[in-house]
Amino acid sequence: MNSVAATQGFQPYWYLVLAAMVFTIGAVGLLVRRSPLVMLMCVELMLNAVNLTFVTFGRMLNDVGGQVIVFFVLVVAAAEVVVGLGIIVAVARRRPNATIDDVSALRG
Amino acid sequence: MCAAIVLIGACGVVLSKHPVHSALSLVATLFGVAVLFLNENAQLLAVVQVIVYTGAIVVLILFVLMLLGVDTEDDLSVDPIVGQRALAYLAGFALLGSLLSVFIINRDALVTGRRSVSAALSGESSNIALLGRQIFTTWIFAFEITAGLLTVAVIGAVVMARRPSSYEPLPEPESMDDDGYEPEEVEA
Amino acid sequence: MVSLVWLIPALPLVGFLLLLCFGKRLGEPAAGWLATAMVGGSFVVALLAFIGLHSQPDNTFSQVLFTWIPAGRFNVDVGFLFDPLSSAMILFVTGVGALIHLYSIGYMHGDPRFSKFFLYLNLFVFSMLMLVLGNNLLITFLGWEGVGVCSYFLVSFWFEKLPNATAGKKAFITNRIGDWGFMVGIFITWFTFGTIQYTQFLPVSPGVATTTATLISLMLFIGAVGKSAQFPLYLWLPDAMAGPTPVSALIHAATMVTAGVYLMVRINPMLHAASPWLSTAIAWIGVLTALLAATIAIAQTDIKKVLAYSTVSQLGYMFLAVGVGGYWVAIFHMITHAFFKALLFLGAGSVMHGVDGEQDMRRMGALRKLMPITAGAFIVGWLAISGVVPLSGFWSKDEILTYALHRSPALYAIGLFTALLTAFYMSREVFLVFYGDARWNNPIEPSTIEAQSDADIVTPPVHASEIHPHESPWMMTAPLVVLAVLAALAGFINLPFSGTPHWLENWLEPVTGQFGVELNNSNAYIVGLLLISTIVAVSGIGLGYAVYQRHKIPANVFERRLFLNGWYYDLAVSDFMNRPGRVFFAGVAWVDGHVIDGAVNGVGSITRSAGGMIRKTQSGLVRSYAMAITIGAVLLLLFVLTRVTW
């Protein structure tokens, strides 16, 4: 197994490392940025990182199931973006220049 | 090399002041990931990623950006929520540290599960056929549900994006602190 | 036959419920007849059950209706213990009760709340029957409380006048003080025996530690003191005369006040196992109360107040009997007292009815010719209570004195002296009311007593020109006649001589025989004591005759102001309650308001402030929420990492 991986160039765990880094960058960006659109893009970053992880594990387990999962994640991410953008548009129409901190009406 | 593109793109998304710059960085990242998919024998996914993610999603985001007006981002140097930034860095550091430690320390024995539970990846048929067969036989139910999900999302988006009859900006909400309740004095 | 015992309390309960729903519609006099029929039916069933009881083993029959409180170790049934004691009491409770119901139909004629009166009366009879028939302390307590409540309702029946409402409250509250003792007694009983059923704990009570038995008996005695109006809780009985006269007859003569005596007799094994000082104390409290009440009765001017204090006095006799170990004697006196006291009260009510509500004896007189049946019945009652042979009161009182003498000559002497006073004040009442000059048209003369008493509830005199004394209707006089016959003959159920059948003593033997004192005096000894009692009774009557008929001795020798004001005991109590008592009550109210309510409110306010603090985490800011999620995920990840094997 190791020799097979070695002949393939990068060992698979590099992909995992890269995915982890992208995920972390996306997470930090989500917490720090205030524009809703940028936050949405950070969410996409995180999802991509996860996709990469799944595909890598699929290759390591020699299983196509990893790719099936990614397929579905892709679809759901698309739907989620649609809905998220709808919300952003609805909010921004009422209040232009709204940052995410301004939509805090659901306070306790 | 692709990894570098991916990483630079990711940093660009997070660090750009201008939202359009962030969107373009996102495109770079997504392309990089697509190439990495190709590298991993996930051809269908690479193509779908390009079409759906970069072709549709980022385009949608750019649409909305243009629709709402392209403004500069607020001042990035200060964060209104106290401690948010510090905590975010801390959390990110912890997250990255733990994940990396797992991956690097166990680099030789990362997977312990059974191989090829669903179907062997390195097989005779093409990647598309393999993937298609799995989706339409084993995971057909999830497929149908996802289709429903898409339908619902579309309907939701249409409902939300309708123009309201009265179009004026909302007033600022009043403070939702203590609503003035005081317990009455109990007479002995 | 005997399994019909559940029907005995059920009938008055049905009457109560029917009157509750349909009383207004039935109106007068149907409501009254319904109530009377129910209690009369109870009496008939009681009679049948009594007959059937003779064939039961030990003359005891238990019947359990259903389990009321099945709470693990604490198991209380609703059941009846129909044994000699309860059957004897049931008979006279329902019998006298039925007669009083009949009487009330005539007495309450024209009252706007006619059906309500009978509703309460039926409820009262039901409660009293549950009290007597109950097979465990809790059912007895249920009946106990029930009769207390009905006493409150009935005494303040004419609550439009404030004194009547106050009297009702006083009765209930004073009872309550006694009830505290009863409840503590029940608790201790349960802790000691694990059961409160009579058939279960009474047989084993001789084996229990003396202190425990004393404590239980003392607590239950406190309850009895409250209910049966002994010193120091007798205050409520004279004031309770504010209620209609049938109420006084039923509740405060024949039934409710005897509940305390019943309780003491019921727990006589426990009493026997207690320290001897308790029995002695009971005897002394009884006899001193008898003496005290008799002295107060001498000076009263209200026709009913005399009888009220007389009741307190006679109850003292019953407790004297309990204290010296003559348990069946107490029951004997209870039965005879029920007859003649109810008779006296109903007679007084008839007199009041005849003189249009006048209650002051100084404004009556010479009513013998105008109300012959009432007068005749009243005279029979008078002779019975004075202890004139061969009426019932003579036999029962003499038995008590015999037992008292057996224990201590001092008790006997005081008891004898009280008998003298009893004869005296009852004769005074009879002479003032039925003989002498017709005074109802005279203004009140302050000659015999210096002034109206200070603390009595004053019944304003009726305007003179309206009084035309007349005899009462048959519904009122018929019960009087029946009771007169019973009062005359009831003594014969237990003549003391050794040759005669001791029906009552033998009948009650399963209940009282084991621990009661048994005297076997010679006939000569008995006759000697009887002679002394007769001399005492006759001298009392003679003294009354001399003072009030012949006016040989001025009355104010006897009618002292001290007696009239009840030895100022009532005033002292209200004074104490008003000054130091009020401070104490204010303190208690403060504790209730600030400590107890404070604790409850404190819990509420603590919850509020804690909630207010937690509320701050719900800032509404998305990024804060995202931060929380992230931190949680990171912590989870770190936790998992500590658990895996590297």
pLDDT tens profile C515-554: 777 777 777 778 888 888 888 888 888 888 888 777 777 7
Comparing B158 with B125, the larger pLDDT belongs to B158
Nearest partner of C393 among C528, C273, C491, judged by Cα: C491
- Taking only Cα atoms into account, the Rg of chain C, rounded to an integer number of angstroms, comes to 29
- C522/B contact by beta carbon, under 8 A: no
**CA-wise closest residue to C231 among C299, C179, C292:** C292
Residue A96, preceding peptide bond in cis (omega within 30° of 0): no
Q: What are the residue ranges in chain C where pLDDT is below 50? A: 446-459
Candidate from A58, A72, A85 with C-beta closest to B60? A85
Angstrom distance (rounded) from CA C80 to CA C132: 9
Amino acid letter for position C309: Y
Stretch 550-589 of chain C: residues touching chain B, C-beta under 8 Å: 589
- CA-wise closest residue to C36 among C96, C98, C80, C78: C98
3-state secondary structure of C316: helix
CA C414, C416, C419: angle at the middle one, nearest 5?
A: 110
Between CA C499 and CA C502 the distance in angstroms is: 9
C626 and A CB contact within 8 Å: yes
Hey, which chains touch B, using 3+ CB pairs under 8 Å?
A, C
Question: Residues 6 or more apart from C323 whose CB is under 8 A from it?
Answer: C279, C280, C281, C282, C283, C284, C285, C286
Q: Looking at the predicted structure, is the pLDDT value of residue B136 above 50?
A: yes
The overall longest dimension of chain B from CA atoms, in Å, is 90
Tokens 């007479």 locate to B187
Tracing tokens 């039923």 back to the chain, one arrives at C250
Strand partners, A63: B120
Check if the beta carbon of residue C36 is closer than 8 Å to that of residue C98: yes
Say yes or no for a CB contact (<8 Å) between A30 and C626. Answer: yes
Q: Are A104 and C618 inside 8 Å of each other by CB?
A: no
**Is the peptide bond prior to C29 cis by the omega test (within 30 degrees of 0)?**
yes
Neighbours of B123 (CB within 10 A): 13
Residue where the block lists tokens 């201590």: C408
**For residue C328, how many other CB atoms are within 10 A of its CB?**
29
Residue C452: what pLDDT? 45
Measured N-to-C along each axis, helices A65-94 and B58-68 cross at an angle, to the nearest 10 degrees, of: 10
CA distance B55 to C585: 85
**A–B CB contacts, 8 A cutoff, strictly below:** 246
Q: How does DSSP classify residue C553? A: S
Instruction: Return the number of other C-beta atoms located less than 10 Å from residue C324's C-beta.
Output: 29
B161 CA to chain C: closest CA distance, Å?
21
Q: Which of residues 584-603 of C touch A (CB under 8 A)?
A: none
Q: How far is A76 from chain C (nearest CA, A)?
A: 20
Interface with B, mutate which of C637, C640, C643, C645 (most B CBs under 10 A): C637
Query: Would the CB atoms of C627 and B91 count as touching at under 8 Å?
Result: yes
Domain B1-72 has CATH 3.40.190.10: no
Q: Are C103 and C476 in contact (CB under 8 A)?
A: yes
Q: Which two tokens stand for residue C115?
A: 């059906």
Counted across chains A and C, CB pairs separated by less than 8 A come out at 31
**Mutation site for C-interface testing, chosen from A24, A25, A28, A31 by largest number of C Cβ within 10 Å:** A31
Residues of B with CB under 8 A from a CB of C: 81, 84, 87-88, 91, 94-95, 98-99, 101-102, 105-106, 178, 183, 186-188
State the Cα–Cα distance between residues C358 and A53, nearest whole angstrom. Answer: 108
From chain A, pick out residues whose CB is under 8 angstroms from the CB of C622. 100-101, 103-104
**Mean of pLDDT over chain B:** 79
The answer to whether the beta carbons of residues C117 and C157 sit under 8 Å apart is yes
Measure CA of the first residue to CA of the last residue in chain C; give whole Å: 88
Residue C534, amino acid: T
Q: Which CATH number fits domain A3-106: 1.10.287.3510, 2.70.98.60, 1.25.40.20, 3.40.1390.10?
A: 1.10.287.3510
Write a three-state SS string for B12-44.
HHHHCCCHHHHHHHHHHHHHHHHHHHHHCCCHH
Residue B181: pLDDT above 80?
A: no
Q: What is the 3-state secondary structure (H, E, C) of C136-151?
A: EHHHHHHHHHHHHHHH
CB count, 10 Å around CB of C160? 8
* Any C CB within 8 A of A34 CB: yes
CA-nearest of C355, C508, C503, C335 to C433 is C355
The tokens describing C309, both together, are 């204090």
Identify the residue among B7, B8, B11, B13 best suited for mutation to test binding to A, counting A beta carbons within 10 A and taking the highest.
B13
Q: What whole-number distance in Å separates Cα of residue B76 and Cα of residue A34?
A: 9
Distance CA C583, CA C485 (A): 54
C369 DSSP 8-state letter:
T
What contacts C599, CB < 8 A, 6 or more positions away? none
- From C588's Cα to the closest Cα of chain B, the distance in A is 10
Q: Do A31 and C627 touch (CB under 8 A)?
A: yes
* Chain A CA closest to residue B136: A68
- Choose from B39, B48, B68 for mutation: most chain A CBs within 10 A: B68
| Chain B contact present for A76, CB below 8 A | yes
Give B101 to chain C, closest Cα distance, Å. 10
Verify whether the Cβ–Cβ distance A31 to C615 is below 8 Å: no
Q: What is the ipTM of this complex?
A: 0.85
**Which chains share 3+ C-beta pairs under 8 angstroms with A?**
B, C
Tens-digit pLDDT profile for chain A (108 aa)?
444 444 344 577 788 889 999 999 999 999 888 888 888 999 999 999 999 999 988 888 888 888 899 999 999 999 999 999 988 888 887 777 777 777 777 776
| Overall size of chain A counted in residues | 108
The rounded distance, in Å, linking the Cα atoms of B178 and C612 is 9
What H or E segment, with its residue span, contains residue B85? helix B84-105
**Cβ contacts of B184 within 8 Å, gap of 6 or more:** none
Distance CA A43, CA A31 (A): 10
What 8-state DSSP symbol labels residue B169? P
Furthest CA-CA distance within chain C = 122
- Domain limits of chain B? 1-72, 124-162
Kindly tell me the sign of the dihedral angle through the C-alpha atoms of C508, C512, C513, C514.
positive
Closest-CA distance, C602 to chain A, in angstroms, reads 23
Asked if A78 has any chain C CB less than 8 Å from its own CB, the reply is no
Residue C576: C-alpha distances to residues B143, C35, C230, C239, C569 (Å): 89, 42, 19, 18, 10
For the stretch B78-102, pLDDT in tens is: 777 777 888 888 889 988 888 888 8
Q: A78, B52: Cβ pair inside 8 Å?
A: yes
Distance from the C479 Cα atom to the nearest Cα atom in chain B, whole angstroms: 53
Residues of C within 8 A of B101 (CB-CB) are: 641
C70-87 b/e (C-beta count within 10 Å ≥ 16 → b):
eeeeeebbbbbbbbbbbb
Contact residues, chain B, for C638 at CB < 8 Å = 94, 98
Give the residues across from C360 on adjacent strands. Answer: C302
